[in-house]
Every structure is written in structure tokens, then in C-alpha cells.
Amino acid sequence: MNVNLRGAYAIFKNELMRAFRTAFGSILAPVLTTSLYFIVFGSAIGGSIQSIDGVSYGAFIVPGLLMLTLLSESTSNASFGIYMPRFTGAIYELLSAPVGVAETLIGFVGAAAAKSLILASIILLTATLFVDYSIAHPFFALLYVLLISAAFSLFGFILGIWADGFEKLQVVPLLILTPLTFLGGTFYSLDMLGEPWRTVAMVNPIVYLVNGLRWTFTGTSDFPIALSLGATLAFLVVCVTAIAVIFRTGWRLRD
């Protein structure tokens, strides 16, 4: 299969530059929000909780806050990136251009994932100002962050195609992903929950993602890393399959 690398790069560059043109909303705002979480939860609440599983509370919440940013930003960036061409009608120029599904995904999804990774790096640097943390498995942490960014950028791409208004772009990130992440062990271990809440929490799929990333940082987790990795890969495959069906049928693209 021949890939139009120039076309893919053009889409990628245009989407990535959009983030820098709106740097305050795209980059600074999430970093400031995360900093507030560190101040409120890491300093205030962390003073009352000495450690969890042998890890200081401040270091314990770093993976959860990083996951919160990755999920919300990957989804939002990718959904807005593909929605705007549909809203303005530029999508028809894209569909008639010599670029296929691979180039489109490399451009839109790649840019959204790249923005998320830039944010993740900035947040990790910012975290050093508030807490003392370490990464137990740096290679697996990088791999896991890449998988999460790619999976939820693909999910955001699907969301941007599905949405028929700006309000729908915010429904899933704000009303579903963010609450699930807060309830997914971002600020606590499942061992701290009593029944039936621990069983209820295990139904939340974000719990497995947060614990997978936490294992790469602290070496401890409420679940085996294989379970978290399997859940992430399964979600990635589902998203790729859904996008393949969308482009084959033209759903919401040629309407």
C-alpha cells in the first residue's frame, strides 16, 4: 500500500500548528488545571495521607492526573480536528484529494496524539515542582502513554465524525470520560474502598487504564499489568475497526 506521506504531513502540520496558535487554551490551561490538582490534592490532602502502598500520596496521584489529561486532551483534540472540516465543508476537499484513510489518520490522529504527548511531558516536568516522584519502568511508561494517546485520539476522531454540533463534542469528554477518570482511582487505591463500591469501581474501564499507568510509575497496581495492557489494545482495535467501517460506508462524511 502506497502512502502519500506529503499529504499526511500537510494534515499533521496544519493540525499541530493550530494547537500552537491557540497555546493558552490548548497547552497552558490544562497545565494550570493540573497544577491546581497538585496543590489541592497533593499538598492539602496529601498532608493527611502519608502513603499508599509505600508510595507518597503526591507521587501516587501523578499517573492518575497524567491519565486524566491524556484522555481528555487526546479525545478533544482529535474530535475538534475532524469536526471543523465537516462544519466548514472542507471535508469534501479532503475526500477528493489524493489521500486515503491511512494519510487521514496519520494527519489528524497523529497530531492529536502528538499534542497530548507534549502536554504529558510538560505536566511531568511541572509535577517535579510539587512532588518527588520516580518512574519505575520508563520504557513501559512511554509505551503505555503512546498507546493511550493513540487509542483515545482514534476515539476522538470517531466522536468528531459522529457529532453534528459543537455541544456534542463536549458531551463525551466532560460528562463521561472526566467523571469516569475521577472515579477510576485517580486519587485513591481501590483497596481504600469498601464493598459494594469496590466491586462497582471495577466495572469502570478507566480503572484498568489508570492502574496500568500507575504500575509503570510506582511498580504497584490493583490489577496485573497484562489486564490493563489488554484492555488498552482491545479498545485500540475497536476504534480502528470502527474507523475502517466509517470510511468504507462514508457515514457522516458524505451526508
Asked whether residue 238 is domain-assigned, the answer is yes
Burial of 136 (0-12, 13-18, 19+ CB in 10 A): middle
pTM as predicted:
0.89
pLDDT in tens, 197-230: 888 888 999 999 999 999 999 998 888 889 999 9
- Closest-CA residue to 198 (of 215, 223, 232): 223
Asked whether residue 205 is domain-assigned, the answer is yes
Work out the mean pLDDT of the chain and round it to a whole number.
86
Asked whether residue 229 is domain-assigned, the answer is yes
All cell numbers assigned to 205:
474501564
pLDDT in tens, 70-123: 998 899 889 998 998 888 888 777 777 777 788 888 899 999 999 989 888 988
Asked whether residue 86 is domain-assigned, the answer is yes
Q: Are 68 and 78 in contact (CB under 8 A)?
A: no
Tell me the C-alpha distance between 15 and 8, whole Å: 11
Phi-psi region of 207 (alpha: psi -120 to 50; beta: other; left: phi over 0): alpha
Asked whether residue 255 is domain-assigned, the answer is no
Asked whether residue 254 is domain-assigned, the answer is no
Domain count, the chain: 1
pLDDT of residue 12: 92
Asked whether residue 61 is domain-assigned, the answer is yes
Burial of 221 (0-12, 13-18, 19+ CB in 10 A): buried
Domain that holds residue 60: 5-249
